[in-house]
Amino acid sequence: MNKTGFLYTLFRVLLFLIPFSLLTSCASAPKFTIDKKQREENRRAADDLQTKYRNVDTVLETVIGYASYYAHKFHGRQTSNGEIYDMYGLTAAHTTYPPNTIIRVTNLSNEKSVIIRVNDHFPEHPTRIIDLSYGTADTLDMLQDGVVEVKLEILEWGE
């Protein structure tokens, strides 16, 4: 094969491989999956939190500000503490609170509240104090609004 034929063949191969590799490398897929058993365990743990902290009167810190929620984009991805994010769970991401901090979150527009656990971090945001899971947002009846004013009551600090 002469030099021109070799270069032409190489060009054709690269012309095929480059677009193919770009398409496959840009594919977005969850890193992990949440199966039915894991979702049941998460639900049981959330129920245990509600039972254990329902009558706790000692509040270590109270903060009022705005909360948003996150859902599908991060579902099945690893959180900062190594857990797999279950958008239907009762968890949250906070900028500074350590993992496993237990918080009573109250939606100030309807007074609904739920006890959750911090399992992730999110970057500083100028107007938001916490980012709630979809399940938490649904429990607080804030899905329609997206961002609501909340009261955070720290019941127990995490590690």
pLDDT per position as a tens digit, 58-84: 999 999 999 999 866 666 666 777 787
36 phi and psi, to 5 degrees?
Answer: -60, -40
Q: Which helix (H) or strand (E) holds 68?
A: strand 61-70
pLDDT per position as a tens digit, 128-158: 999 998 989 999 999 999 899 999 999 999 9
pLDDT per position as a tens digit, 16-36: 555 544 444 444 444 566 667
On the question of pLDDT at 48 being above 80, the answer is yes
Q: Report the percent of the chain where pLDDT is more than 90.
A: 41
Domain extent listing, the chain: 36-156
- Tell the CATH topology of 36-156: Barwin-like endoglucanases (2.40.40)
Q: How many angstroms separate the CA atoms of 105 and 130, rounded?
A: 10
